[in-house]
Structure formats: C-alpha cells, structure tokens
Amino acid sequence: MSAPSSASASGPENAAHQDRADALFLQGKAAAQAKNWDEAYQLLAQAWELKQSYDIASNLGQVAYLLGKHAEAAQHVLFALRHYPATGDAEQKQKTQDLLDMVRQKVSSLSLQVTPLEAEVLIDGASAGRASVLPPELFVEPGERVITARLGDEAVEREVSAKAGGHYNLELTLANATPAAAAPAAAGLQASENNPAEPADSPPPEPSGLEDKHIALIVGGALTVGSGVALGIFASKRSKAESDIETYQARVEDESSDPNACANSNSEACQDLARASDDWETSGQMRNIFLATTVVLAAGTVATYFLWPSASDEQATTSVTPILTAEHQGLLFSGTF
C-alpha cells in the first residue's frame, strides 16, 4: 500500500522513518483542519519524503491544490489513485478522481518517451528523475516549458508551449543511445487537448460549459433588465395619467365653478377625471413595486458577481477533498474556506 523512498534504510532505521512519517502525517492533517495550509504542506511534504503512500499523497495533493500548486497537486493525486488499495472505499476513490479531473483543467500533462532510459529528465532545469522511474504522466504549469533529457555530457531539449488542459507526447533521444537501451519510439512532438496517453482511469475531463455563476449572472441580468423595462413603462403611464388629470380637471372647472362639481355630477369630464385618477394611482403602485424589484435584482446580481465562488475557488469546497488513510476514511476539510 505504500512504498518507502529510495533514501530509506532497512531494518530499525526504516521502521523509525515509517513512524516519523506517520507522526508528520497526523500533524499535517491537524494543521490542515486548522486551515494552516503552509504548515500543513510542510509537514505533509516531510512525511512524503520519508514514505510514499497513497494517503500521504492524497492529502498532500489536496493541500498543494489549495495553495495553488496545481502541477504538484495533480502529480500527488495521480499517485494516490494509481496506488489506491483494491479494498479501499469506492466513493472516496471517486472523490479523489474528481479532484484529479478538476486540477487537470488547470495544468498541462506530458507523456515522455526517452532514450536511453538511464537518462535524467529535467523540467525547466529542475530534475524530475531518471526516465526509467518516471510516472506515465508528468504535470507542469501552463506556459513555456523546456524538457531536457541528459546523460553525462550529452543532452537533448524540447520546448513546449503548454496550455491548461493540454496533453503533450514528447520523444527525447540522445544521439549516442544504444539500441538496447532505446525506449519505444514516438511520432515526435504531438499535442492533444483531450487525448492523454496515460491511463484509461484518469482521462482529462470534458469541458463543463458555463459555470453556475455565469448562468446565475445571465439570469439575474435578464430579470433586472426586464424589471427595469416594466418600471419605465409604469413610470411613463403615471406621468401620462398625471397629465390627463390636469386636463380633465380644467374641463370640469370650465363646466362648473363648484369645487365639488364631480361629487354631484356624472358628466363625461368627471368620468374621464375619475378614470385618470385610477390610472394614476394604479400605475404609481406598480411603479413602486418594480422599482423595489429592480433594485433587489440588481443588488443580487452584483452580489453574485463578487461573492459567488468562481472556478478558481473550487479548491475551497470539501466535496473533492477526501481523507484517505489506512485507518480512517472521510473528509479532511469542512465548510467553505
């Protein structure tokens, strides 16, 4: 279920390393539960140096993701999935897969064919290890990347303009490599957004379309505009009714000098004045309703824009951050961070 690092010794020293790794792991989980992400990352990274196991990898990947270390997070979560025990909880494994699918959208992945396998692979000058022990996929942050294979004084480089969600197959062959050491040949540099070479159990996710936030903004904006149009219509009707009242009032005054002429008369002018007064009152009420509605909808839309978590905030939810340990299974974090 777990593999010791190459630096670990055997016997009592190895047991001490395992115990130290387990202690660091528990301390790292505690720091994460307290939302001390930097401390959690340091402790879990130290545990990983001593023992490479799926539970350490999973939790380290989660914390790395929360800290914006997306390529590192993907690498650890992929390790956790590839070493997940057959008897492990299927639901927790699916949540780990969901996290990998999500982080894939933020990074680029590489599949390398290196000849000879003894060559060291470097990414932007930092060693990733010997070609013979590299995982099937390496993850890098989007941008201009330089991949190097080096053996002795000889080196070969490939440059990649890595895009988020992209997958790239690279062949790096040193000129003096012997046929016996040759790796399977690739077709050169290939790029594919949705066709990773490695494993069928971890394909890049399909585009998810509009985010819920964007849909909410579109709906909120449309309702605000509609309410605003209705507000304008009833404001216009009230203004017209007010003008009609003045007109009909003048007609009533022309027909009679009695200030209460319409109280005892059912003349056409009085009927028109009554209708205009009703229109004025009704349109005023509707204007006030749509004014309040428009203000509320506009405020809600603005609040949605600023407060609704975006795709870049998804790491703050717990639905994709499982606890995976040999003793316990559950969620490491809770709430919205």
User: Average pLDDT over the chain, rounded to whole?
Assistant: 77
Q: What is the predicted pLDDT for the residue at 247?
A: 84
Q: Phi/psi class of residue 33: alpha, beta or left (left: φ > 0; alpha: ψ in -120 to 50)?
A: alpha
C-alpha dihedral over 331, 335, 336, 337, to 10 degrees?
Answer: -70
162-176, 182-196, 204-218, 229-243 — most confident range = 162-176
Q: What are the two backbone dihedrals, phi and then psi, of residue 152, each rounded to the nearest 5 degrees?
A: 65, -130
Which residue is listed with tokens 């506009």? 298
Cis peptide before 116 (omega within 30 of 0): yes
Distance CA 57, CA 2 (A): 10
Phi-psi group of 169: left, alpha or beta (phi > 0 → left; psi -120 to 50 → alpha; rest → beta): beta
pTM of the entire predicted model: 0.51
Q: Tell me which amino acid residue 308 is.
A: W
Tokens 């709906």 belong to which residue? 219
Query: What single-letter amino acid sits at 44?
Result: L
pLDDT tops 60 at residue 285: yes
More confident residue, 89 or 144: 144
Residue of 300 and 72 predicted with greater confidence: 72
Q: Please name which of 213, 232, 210 lies closest in space to residue 221, comparing C-alpha atoms.
A: 213
Q: Of the ranges 198-202, 268-272, 285-289, which one carries the lowest mean pLDDT score?
A: 198-202
pLDDT band per the 50, 70, 90 thresholds, residue 333: very low
Q: What's the mean pLDDT in 244-249?
A: 78
% residues pLDDT > 70 (the chain): 72
Minimal CA–CA distance to 51: which of 110, 87, 9?
A: 9
User: What's the pLDDT tens digit per position in 217-226?
Assistant: 787 778 888 8
pLDDT of residue 213: 63
Q: Give CA–CA dist 36/29, Å, rounded.
A: 10
Please count the other Cβ atoms lying within 10 Å of the Cβ belonging to residue 266.
8
Q: What share of the chain is helix, strand, coil (3-state, %, to 5)?
A: 50, 20, 30
Dihedral angle over CA of 193, 217, 95, 203, nearest 10: -10
Q: Whose CA is closest to 98, among 323, 321, 316, 332? A: 321
Q: At what angle do helices 12-33 and 37-50 cross, to 10 degrees?
A: 160
d(CA 110, CA 147): 10
| pLDDT of 161 over the 90 cut | yes
Q: Is the pLDDT of residue 281 over 50?
A: yes
- Which pair of structure tokens corresponds to residue 220? 């909120």
How long is the chain?
A: 337
Reading the block at residue 334, the tokens are 């809770």
Q: What are the backbone angles phi and psi of residue 183, rounded to the nearest 5°?
A: -90, 165
